[in-house]
Structure 1
Amino acid sequence: MNKILIFLLFISLSFSKEFDSFYIHSLESKSNNKIDGKNLYLKYCALCHGKQKEGISAPPLLPQFLKRKSDKKIYTIIKNSLPQTLMPKFDFLNDNEIKEIIKFLRKPQRDIKWNEANIINSYKKYNNNKKDLNIKDIDNVTLVVERGANRVWIMENEKILDRFDFRNVHGGLKYTLDGKNFYVPTRDGWIGHYSLENGRLEDKVRACINLRNVSLSHDGKYLFATCLLPQMVVVFDRKTLKPVKIKKVNGKISALYELYSKDEAIFTFRDKPKLYKVNTKTLKFKEYKLDKPIEDFFIDPFEEYIIGTTRHGKDLRVYDIKTLKEKFFASIEGMPHLFSATYWYKDGKFYFATPHLRKPYITIWQMYDWKLIKKIDVGGDGFFVKTHPQSDYLWVDNGSDKLVLVNKEDFSIKKLTPRKDKRYIHTEFSGDGKYAYLSIYENDGDLLVWQTDTFKEIKDYKADVPVGKYNFINKNRVFYPRLFGLSIFKEKCWGCHHQSAEAFGPPFSKIAKKRNEGEMISQIVDPNHTYKELGYKRNSMPAFKFNEKELKSIVDYIKSFKGK
């Protein structure tokens, strides 16, 4: 009996201790104001923003999407809602509860899941009415991202043909090479498909939670999406937007770029010393080891080299695409922003220029002989440098209201002020180079259309943070040799030939319709032996000692007049 009493007493004391401990813990939680931000988020936010903060009917709330928003700004949004959105006010939550929600939002989300079923279920087909955009020349179509308004514009020359809304649009739009479609990626993983033939947004799909870039196979069959969350590459059937392959990877992809000369695409990692080549016919991925990670890179206009920079931006390296052997190395301070590089031809040489992040200069490099030509102080930390064969200048932004014009002949500088005290950023050109498009990078900003040669302003369209602009010709590497060809034409052919009118020699439009590529090359390099075979009575054309790249460029330029 005594043993039973002792046992019951022991249980009673144990239970009492546990109860006291629980009670004391509860009091401490209340006194310390410990509120579970995760539970509050799941209760009030997850229905629209997702259990993983991935975004469903509302935007994602992962830390990388909130970098530009202060805690104060987020607090105000939660408390008072956002105008013209479906988000309700949560004014019944107290200050501490909102602060704990914000802490939870700032916390990295581990092991985010997004699989094939999620991708398929995200697909949405639009039922918009067709409209005729009345495009005269696809070469002069330019897309504009108005980021502050979540909107995309379609322009031809100085006119706006259409505008449509697309939430969280950032940049990186991609055309199909037939000029009939383009694709709009967002940072939160959505890809929209717009038909230029039908004049409407057709459909969209969500590839992942955090998307890096999109690319197309050169035959137009597949659309590639590189993803940072989860880390993978999603391959879609371009026409249906159905996933056909998901390749999981280990690393932060820098970007994937397609080749036009063969069925291949290439991507690298910002944090891993490796590179993948993708067969865009078979969709096989092959991994290669590098000595260092490639943070940012571009593929040269003739698709022979990869020009990249290592992770901390201390050097510039050139790799042979076929062998991946290093061809050139140069130490350089300030990470080259190679995605924003621009290219041109002059006096038998090919060049590129790049800005450098957090440095007040751009650098000029000679390609194929691979050497640094010039470092040019532009007076501030810029982000883009652009040019076109119809301009004598590099058009550079420097983080201020100034447009810096660098003369391609002697690298002298002059500055213009598109809008006083408003930041200018990024110039794009129409395909023919007649028009220049400038962004005034402000909430109450502008999209300016200038004549390239005179700098005369033609149009001023009000815009809310206009950023990237994407011309059909200037944003497709396959057309870069054609642009070089325009420069060669102006240097070597202008005196005897015209593009479309009869001059001393036949117009390029006539040559393009009448001659095949072999005949063009033969007449350029050895006219004394080919003029009779081509039906000419005599020859007045000199032989040009062009190298292979110059020949391709001038022939591509001539061929561009075939349908004109």
Structure 2
Amino acid sequence: MNLRTAVTTLLTGGLWGLAMVALPVTAESPDPHMLYNQHCSACHGVGRLGGIGPALLPENLSRLKPDAARDVIRDGRPATQMPAFGALLDDDEVAALAEWIHEPPEEEPTWTDDDIRASHVVDHPYGSLPDEPVFEVEDLKNLFIVVETGDHHVSLLDGDTFERIERFPSRYALHGGPKYTPDGRYVYFGSRDGWITKYDIYNLEVTAEVRAGINMRNIAVSADGRYVMAANYLPHTLVLFDARNLELIATLPVEAENGETSRVSAVYTAPPRNSFVAALKDIPEIWEIRWPEQRAEGDEPLVGDFALHRMAAPDYMDDFFFDQSYRYLVGASRGDGGGGVVFDMDAEETIAELPLEGMPHLGAGTTWELDGRRVMAIPHIDKGLVSVFDMSDWSLITHIETDGPGFFMRSHENSPYVWVDVFFGPNHDRIHVIDKQTLKIAETLTPEPGKTAAHVEFDRDGETLLLSIWDDDGALLRIDAETLEELDRMPMKKPSGKYNVWNKTQYEEGTSH
């Protein structure tokens, strides 16, 4: 890992520790700026520009009014790492903070194309490193990337031997999941504060980095491996890069035809469509960035051969799930309790409404075959349910009751089970194993009492799986996918996501895409 990234990691880790020190406050005359620096800056960034949490600026808070902001500050927020501060701050302090974050900063934050280019560093130009791996493994497609959020590191594991090949520091607060090139050689990381890092797995080297924005949600790599696109909360942009050296190709302002701008919740690669699809937070539209063979009359030219196709959405849809054909998009607005809809992207119309009250986590949905039909299962992050739908007519098959709200769900084509955690609530140390044919909970495991068990990822063949003990004094567990017995464990600092090269590059049906 280069010195630049290591120093950045050290500094951001230091800021985290500093910001979490509890200093006395003056309750009689709360100073929101001081309160923010004490309690908020570690996650939301210096100057409110974002970090592990979103940027707290008026243009980012159009759908979070001051009254709602007070509730979030006091009580926390499900499906995020936002804790409750009601025990640390009194009502006046909470109110002062909620009002202050809705006020514009003294200087309007910007991140221009010049800023992007100035941040760009290439350590190893594309094609300059050897094409043969510097390590030996049985199967290069059965490698795992493991993100360790406890001390901002990444581990590369051999999926056959469960041995660590390399461990290296990462940018602060990686988010959205690493993305591989189709051949599995390169992996791209995106951080909440806007950095994209390209890593050569074969040579165990960072090759290039660039900062795409101030607050970034995720990145996507095109199906042909030629392009990387970043989705930003701040500024309101999608940014396109050449995948080889992360050189800027174009910045796309995210604006409705009436001029209203929007944060981008996520961008996805749609391989069968040869396009990117973007989920917008503040505009009731679905955006598809198309290659030449997909362009249609009325598409808006962007740069080179790319074009933007706008689709009117029935409502705000900032959380997506795609069927395997990428024709049907299941969308919902996280947190509004309005249920979900199935949107046909070919016909550009809603074809079904789904009873998904509350907060479904569509990004964690998975599908499998049941009695000759394909079904879709989705966990909920505000209630102990997994909802199962028939994808032939989008009818509800059942709700599976769980021991609490869950966040991650995983399976594999070769596994009879689907795994779902109980991430939120008092039973967070449990994880359910659901039989995919009976739709019943077959086993409930408690791998480490008192510590959160979360996020399963299978190996290439679905024979073993990795499970996180999501704790600073945590571990990565290797489990037999058939017997459910623990085979081995590796101590880790709060391991979060695991990403198998084969499953991700082949779009295996049980893995999030």
Measured against the shorter chain, the TM-score band is: 0.7 to 0.9
2:508 aligned counterpart, secondary structure: helix
Q: Is the 8 A contact 2:122 2:245 kept in 1?
A: no
2:252 corresponds to which of 241, 247, 256: 247
Q: Structure 1 counterpart of 2:273, which letter?
A: K
1:197 aligns with 2:194: no
Instruction: Identify if the C-alpha distance between structure 1 residues 374 and 138 changes in structure 2 by more than 3 Å, giving closer, same or farther.
Output: farther
Residues 473-520 of structure 1, C-alpha deviations (whole Å, 9 max, x = no match): 3334x5336x89xxxxxxxxxxxxxxxxxxxxxxxxxxxxxxxxxxxx
Partner of 2:435: 407
Instruction: Identify if the C-alpha distance between structure 1 residues 105 and 322 changes in structure 2 by more than 3 Å, giving closer, same or farther.
Output: closer
1:122 corresponds to which of 110, 119, 124: 119
Q: Structure 2 counterpart of 1:446, which letter?
A: A
With 356-365 and 391-400 compared, the bigger mean Cα shift is at: 391-400
1:473 aligned counterpart, secondary structure: helix
Question: Deviation at 1:147?
Answer: 0.7
| Distance in 2 (alpha carbons) for counterparts of 1:62 and 1:383 | 23
TM-score relative to the length of structure 1: 0.67
1:383-398 superposed matches below 5 A: 383-398=407-422
Residues 22-56 of structure 1, C-alpha deviations (whole Å, 9 max, x = no match): xxxxxxxxxx9998959x99xxx9xxx87x5548x
Instruction: Identify if the C-alpha distance between structure 1 residues 209 and 73 changes in structure 2 by more than 3 Å, giving closer, same or farther.
Output: farther
1:493-532 superposed matches below 5 A: none
1:308 corresponds to which of 319, 331, 355: 331
Partner of 1:458: 487
| Distance in 1 (alpha carbons) for counterparts of 2:228 and 2:124 | 22
1:96-115 superposed matches below 5 A: 109=105, 111-115=108-112
1:133-152 superposed matches below 5 A: 133-152=135-154
1:380 aligns with 2:407: no
More strand by share: 2
1:370 aligns with 2:399: no
Q: Which structure 1 residue ranges, 5 or more long, are not aligned?
A: 1-31, 75-99, 485-564
1:261 aligned counterpart, secondary structure: helix
| Distance in 2 (alpha carbons) for counterparts of 1:417 and 1:320 | 40
| RMSD across aligned positions (CA) | 3.4
Instruction: Identify if the C-alpha distance between structure 1 residues 210 and 69 changes in structure 2 by more than 3 Å, giving closer, same or farther.
Output: farther
1:293-332 superposed matches below 5 A: 293-311=316-334, 312-332=336-356
Residues 140-166 of structure 1, C-alpha deviations (whole Å, 9 max, x = no match): 122111111101111121222111111
Question: Deviation at 1:332?
Answer: 2.4
| Distance in 1 (alpha carbons) for counterparts of 2:419 and 2:53 | 35
Q: Is the 8 A contact 2:157 2:164 kept in 1?
A: yes
Q: Structure 2 counterpart of 1:412, which letter?
A: K
| Distance in 1 (alpha carbons) for counterparts of 2:219 and 2:327 | 22
2:447 aligned counterpart, secondary structure: coil
Q: Structure 2 counterpart of 1:164, which letter?
A: F
Question: Deviation at 1:262?
Answer: 3.2
1:475 aligned counterpart, secondary structure: helix
More helix by share: 1
1:258-297 superposed matches below 5 A: 258-280=269-291, 282-297=305-320
Partner of 1:81: none
| Distance in 1 (alpha carbons) for counterparts of 2:87 and 2:385 | 35
2:385 corresponds to which of 353, 358, 361: 361
| Distance in 2 (alpha carbons) for counterparts of 1:428 and 1:192 | 23
Partner of 1:535: none
Instruction: Identify if the C-alpha distance between structure 1 residues 60 and 361 changes in structure 2 by more than 3 Å, giving closer, same or farther.
Output: closer
Partner of 1:479: 507
Partner of 2:462: 433
| Distance in 2 (alpha carbons) for counterparts of 1:136 and 1:446 | 24
2:358 corresponds to which of 305, 329, 334: 334
Partner of 2:68: none
Q: Which structure 2 residue ranges, 5 or more long, are not aligned?
A: 1-27, 58-79, 90-95, 255-260, 293-304
Structure with greater contact order relative to length (CA < 8 Å, sep ≥ 6) = 2
With 336-345 and 388-397 compared, the bigger mean Cα shift is at: 388-397
1:354 aligned counterpart, secondary structure: strand
1:182 aligns with 2:179: no
Q: Structure 2 counterpart of 1:147, which letter?
A: T
1:448 aligns with 2:468: no
Partner of 2:74: none
